[in-house]
């Protein structure tokens, strides 16, 4: 069994790696975190009244309505495990929740068109 100093060192390494991953998520966002939250809120609202059709239909609607850069946003969603609207909520938004401090309390950006 590793001694206590070694266990503490390993724990510190793991914590540092997790924080590096979180920082990379934040730095790799294609649009500011509040806009990503607005995207997820929009998708979630649409999925509350319809089933996922295994596409990013609702994500694309929001992206186009907000004049966001479609290719980078969709590419980010897919890298985060969001290959369809429900996976965007279940995988990509979960990643945001972990990486962005205070994510749930982020205000919606001004001028959101729904």
Q: Is residue 41 a part of any domain in this protein? A: yes
Tell me the pLDDT tens digit for each residue of 8-24: 888 888 888 889 888 99
Q: Is residue 15 a part of any domain in this protein? A: yes
Spatial distance between the Cα atoms of 16 and 52, rounded to a whole number of angstroms: 36
Number of domains in the chain: 1
Say what the pLDDT of residue 114 is: 63
Q: Is residue 110 a part of any domain in this protein? A: no
Of all residues in the chain, the percent with pLDDT exceeding 90 is 73
> Does the pLDDT at position 27 exceed 80?
yes
Q: Is residue 70 a part of any domain in this protein? A: yes
Question: Angle CA(30)–CA(34)–CA(37) in degrees, nearest 5?
Answer: 85
> Does the pLDDT at position 53 exceed 80?
yes
Q: Is residue 25 a part of any domain in this protein? A: yes
Tell me the pLDDT tens digit for each residue of 62-99: 999 999 999 999 999 999 999 999 999 999 999 999 99
């Amino acid at each position: 069994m590793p001694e206590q100093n070694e266990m503490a060192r390993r724990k510190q390494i793991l914590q540092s790696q997790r924080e590096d991953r979180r920082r990379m998520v934040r730095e790799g966002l294609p649009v500011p975190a509040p806009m990503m939250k607005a995207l997820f809120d929009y998708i979630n609202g649409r999925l509350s009244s319809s089933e996922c059709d295994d596409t990013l239909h609702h994500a694309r609607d929001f992206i186009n309505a907000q004049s966001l850069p479609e290719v980078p946003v969709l590419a980010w969603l897919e890298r985060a495990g969001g290959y369809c609207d429900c996976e965007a909520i279940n995988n990509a938004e979960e990643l945001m929740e972990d990486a962005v401090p205070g994510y749930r309390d982020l205000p919606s950006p001004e001028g959101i068109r729904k």
